Amino acid sequence: MKKTTMLAALLATTLMSTIAHAQTIGPNGESATLSSEVTLSDADIAALTGKGYKAALLWHTASDFINAVAAGANDEFARAGVDVVVTTDAGFDAAKQRSDIETALAAQPNVILSLPLDPVTSAEAFREAVETGVELVFLSNLPAGYVHGTDYAAIVTDDLFQMGKQAADVLAEAIGNEGQVGYIFHDAAYYVTNQRDQAFKTTIENDYPNIEIVAEQGITDPARAEELANAMLLQNPDLDGIYVTWAEPADGVLAALRGAGNTSTKIVTLDLSEPIALDMVKGGNVAGIVADEAYELGRAMAAAGLKGLLRQDVPAFVVAPALTVTADNIAEGWQQSLHRDAPASVLGAQ
């Protein structure tokens, strides 16, 4: 068995009991607190305003998702009179992220928001920030060995169980609550995708007795999605639906279906994507997309950091809501998730 498969299997096993009880858990088994519970009161805003506090946003990459997270964070910091003095993009490079941290610390921020790229490397890279008393709030990932309340204020991420569950629900509805489906999961030990994938599988198995997962395929490289989907369809040409772990590989699965002239097999995936959404609104194979509220993630991250700055108790693990986006609510869903209009190509195809 491949190392990635073994790691993913081990992590999935540790998640099973919690997933069965419909909960999202943190990377160290933390219970989740809804982001709506992490807010700044008028008194908090008054205590923060005019103090000269500064913040830095050290992102791991650039994307529509990160733009929305940053917008939520910027708006919340602005509401509290906190200046965002540094914003960086590490381009998925851990060494670049370490350099970004050093650059940010020279500006003496009081709060840093970031997604650590590598648990071990990031633990060392953020250590100077910890030692200088900066309030750290992490998106989804946590540096190895970091202790809540001592080294960082909070982790904020999606409601991962709900994303997987809603994906199962929308696919089940699309195929009439019965039939055979394929399951394309992320074949790596990454707790975000592992929880989402496992929640889909568990929901199908527990809630939909007339739906059977007859084909399973792990994926690590999205570029191979079309190839893997072709192999799955060759062995299972009559699949009623396919779950795909996120939107980029779903685009490859969609290409495989189109190449086979298959207009009946339904796809459900996670995270908003223009080509996937365009197929959906045109009545193609895509039945639904489950997304997170990215803007709310950023707002909650900023609020958690500022509450830490005020020496208030902050939950260790905070989750933002999930939402199902279909052809019927594409405009509203895009706004709710990303706080911007859906692409003109998508809106124009309705």
How many other C-beta atoms lie within 10 A of the C-beta of residue 178?
12
**Is 88:100 a contact under the CB 8 Å cutoff?**
yes
Residue partners of 335: CB distance under 8 A and separation at least 6: 341, 342
Answer yes or no: do 215 and 146 share one domain.
Answer: no
Answer yes or no: do 195 and 301 share one domain.
Answer: no
Q: What is the pLDDT of residues 207-246, one digit of tens each?
A: 999 999 999 999 999 999 999 999 999 999 999 999 999 9
Tokens at residue 183, please?
Answer: 């399951």
Could you tell me how far CA 133 lies from the centroid of its own chain? 28
Answer yes or no: do 132 and 200 share one domain.
Answer: no
Answer yes or no: do 40 and 50 share one domain.
Answer: yes
Q: Is 80 exceeded by the pLDDT of residue 5? A: no
Q: Looking at the domain assignment, is residue 43 inside a domain? A: yes
Answer yes or no: do 262 and 299 share one domain.
Answer: no
- The domain in which residue 142 lies consists of 26-157+294-320
- What torsion, rounded to 10 degrees, do the Cα atoms 327, 156, 42, 112 define? -120
Answer yes or no: do 202 and 288 share one domain.
Answer: yes
Q: Looking at the domain assignment, is residue 119 inside a domain? A: yes
Answer yes or no: do 152 and 186 share one domain.
Answer: no
Q: What is the pLDDT of residues 37-62, one digit of tens each?
A: 999 999 999 999 999 999 999 999 98
pLDDT of residue 3: 41
**CATH code where residue 314 lies:** 3.40.50.2300
Q: Looking at the domain assignment, is residue 341 inside a domain? A: yes
Q: Which residue has the higher pLDDT, 119 or 270?
A: 270
pLDDT of residue 23: 83
Tokens at residue 259, please?
Answer: 């190449």
Answer yes or no: do 103 and 183 share one domain.
Answer: no
Q: Looking at the domain assignment, is residue 186 inside a domain? A: yes
**Angle value at C-alpha 314, between 138 and 299, nearest 5 degrees:** 55
Q: Looking at the domain assignment, is residue 21 inside a domain? A: no
Give just the sign of the alpha carbon dihedral 286, 341, 36, 76. positive
Q: How many structural domains does the chain have? A: 2
Residue partners of 209: CB distance under 8 A and separation at least 6: none
Q: Looking at the domain assignment, is residue 61 inside a domain? A: yes
Q: What is the pLDDT of residues 73-93, one digit of tens each?
A: 999 999 999 999 999 999 989
Give just the sign of the alpha carbon dihedral 244, 247, 253, 254. positive
109-to-77, 105, 145, 172 alpha-carbon distances in Å: 12, 6, 23, 48
Percentage of the chain beyond pLDDT 90 is 88
3-state percent helix, strand, coil for the chain, nearest multiple of 5 = 45, 20, 30
Q: In which residue are the tokens 């982790």 written?
A: 155
How many other C-beta atoms lie within 10 A of the C-beta of residue 192?
18
Q: Is 90 exceeded by the pLDDT of residue 4? A: no
Answer yes or no: do 125 and 217 share one domain.
Answer: no
Q: What is the mean pLDDT of residues 18-35?
A: 79
Q: Looking at the domain assignment, is residue 75 inside a domain? A: yes
Q: Mean pLDDT, the chain, as a whole number?
A: 93
Q: What is the pLDDT of residues 111-126, one digit of tens each?
A: 999 999 888 999 999 9
Answer yes or no: do 175 and 278 share one domain.
Answer: yes
Strand-pairing partners, residue 324, are: 290
pLDDT of residue 174: 98
Residue partners of 76: CB distance under 8 A and separation at least 6: 40, 298, 299, 302, 303, 306
Answer yes or no: do 286 and 300 share one domain.
Answer: no
Q: In which residue are the tokens 């700055």 written?
A: 309
Residue partners of 68: CB distance under 8 A and separation at least 6: 294, 295, 297, 298, 337, 338, 339, 340
Answer yes or no: do 198 and 153 share one domain.
Answer: no
Q: Looking at the domain assignment, is residue 14 inside a domain? A: no
Minimal CA–CA distance to 314: which of 300, 331, 294?
300
Task: Give the β-pairing of 286-292 and 322-325.
Answer: antiparallel
What is 170-190 written as a DSSP string?
HHHHHTTT-EEEEEEEE-S--
Q: Is 50 exceeded by the pLDDT of residue 163? A: yes
Minimal CA–CA distance to 250: which of 185, 333, 330?
185
Locate the DSSP E strands across 277-321: 286-292, 317-320
pLDDT of residue 22: 62
